[in-house]
């Protein structure tokens, strides 16, 4: 008898837009895990994962849909994640914030999770968010095994 177990790696991105004088707007969507993420995970579990831990989020301008082989976020504004938690068995959550004074003028169309060594782990393309000084963004990105 041949028994096989598959682990489906997926991600869920939740962002909340906080605009002065308006109710916060929360958007939750699935994202694409990049092919490079598999190599990063393989190195991590082999004890050879130097630089393969996720530590930043990137906000970028490329509105072209993701492909598994994507490697960069265009015109990226990057920030350290603010916290890492484990909300359930087989899940890791990265929280982040982009303040009112950050990345103003950036036409955000994509977000990405980055490893310490710049490996793009996950990417999400979405509708335009025009970053202005009256807008802050908070969010979380959950990777689910």
* Residues 113 and 94 sit within 8 Å (Cβ to Cβ): yes
HSE value, Cβ hemisphere, 13 Å, CA-based, for 9: 15
* Residues 60 and 112 sit within 8 Å (Cβ to Cβ): yes
* Residues 33 and 40 sit within 8 Å (Cβ to Cβ): no
> Which pLDDT tens digits describe the chain residue by residue (145 residues)?
555 566 689 999 999 999 989 999 999 999 999 999 988 998 888 888 889 999 999 999 999 999 899 999 999 999 999 999 999 999 999 999 999 999 999 999 999 999 999 999 999 999 999 999 999 999 999 999 9
The pLDDT value given to residue 45? 84
The pLDDT value given to residue 47? 86
Task: Quote the pTM value.
Answer: 0.91
Domain borders along the chain are 10-135
Smallest Cα–Cα separation from 19: which of 120, 138, 141, 124? 138
The pLDDT value given to residue 107? 98
Smallest Cα–Cα separation from 64: which of 56, 74, 55, 77? 74
């Amino acid at each position: 008898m041949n028994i096989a177990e598959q682990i489906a790696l997926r991600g869920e991105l939740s962002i909340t837009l906080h605009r002065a004088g308006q109710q916060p707007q929360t958007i939750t969507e699935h994202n694409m895990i990049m092919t490079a993420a598999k190599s990063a995970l393989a190195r991590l579990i082999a004890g050879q994962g130097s630089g393969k831990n996720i530590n930043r989020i990137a906000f970028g301008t490329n509105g072209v849909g993701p492909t598994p082989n994507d490697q960069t976020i265009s015109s990226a504004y990057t920030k350290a994640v603010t916290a890492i938690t484990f909300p359930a068995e087989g899940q890791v959550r990265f929280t982040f914030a982009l303040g009112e004074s950050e990345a103003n003028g950036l036409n955000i169309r994509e977000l990405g999770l980055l490893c310490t060594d710049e490996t793009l782990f996950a990417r999400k393309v979405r509708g335009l968010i025009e970053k202005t000084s009256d807008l802050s963004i908070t969010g979380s990105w959950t990777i689910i095994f």
